[in-house]
Homo-oligomer: A and B are copies of this chain.
Amino acid sequence: MALTIGEMGKATSTKIETIRYYEKIGLLPKPARTSSNYRDYGPAELGRLSFIRRSRDLGFSLDQVRALLGLSDDKSCDCAGIDRIANQHLLEVDRKIADLQALRRELKAVIDSCDGGTVEECRIVEALGPVASG
């Protein structure tokens, strides 16, 4: 059961260039090649790529993915390390949400302050540029 890079891409909704990029940075191993130098993947590589993509979809950075892959390779270790990375990432996500919500409130206030009219009177512009010419 061999897969071309295009089939790997379709199976995981990944662009070909991205797969080659993962190979280049060492997230995916260098695969076997056909006689015409095409990449030749097996199910293990497909699994690994699925893992990477799913992790990326959940917002893990490539460095975190690398760590997860390293930890998940060692089946007999306990999974505290994996848990730690995942929970740390959850905290980051929470922080990001909170930051965006704060930003949203501020942005909304700026927008709501504007009643229309000319740019001269626009409160948005005023709110953005605190220092007038003077």
Contact = CB atoms under 8 A, between A and B. Distances in A.
Interface of A: 43-44, 46-48, 50-51, 54-55, 57-59, 68, 71-72, 74-80, 82-83, 86-87, 89-90, 93-94, 96-97, 100-101, 103-104, 106-108, 110-111, 114, 116-122, 124-125, 127-134
A79 B133 contact: no
A128 to B, nearest CB: 5
**Which of A90, A97, A131, A133 neighbours the largest number of chain B CB atoms within 10 Å of its CB?**
A131
Contacts of A86: 107, 110-111, 124
A60 to B, nearest CB: 9
Given A55-B128, A78-B119, A83 B106 contact: no
A128 B82 CA distance: 11
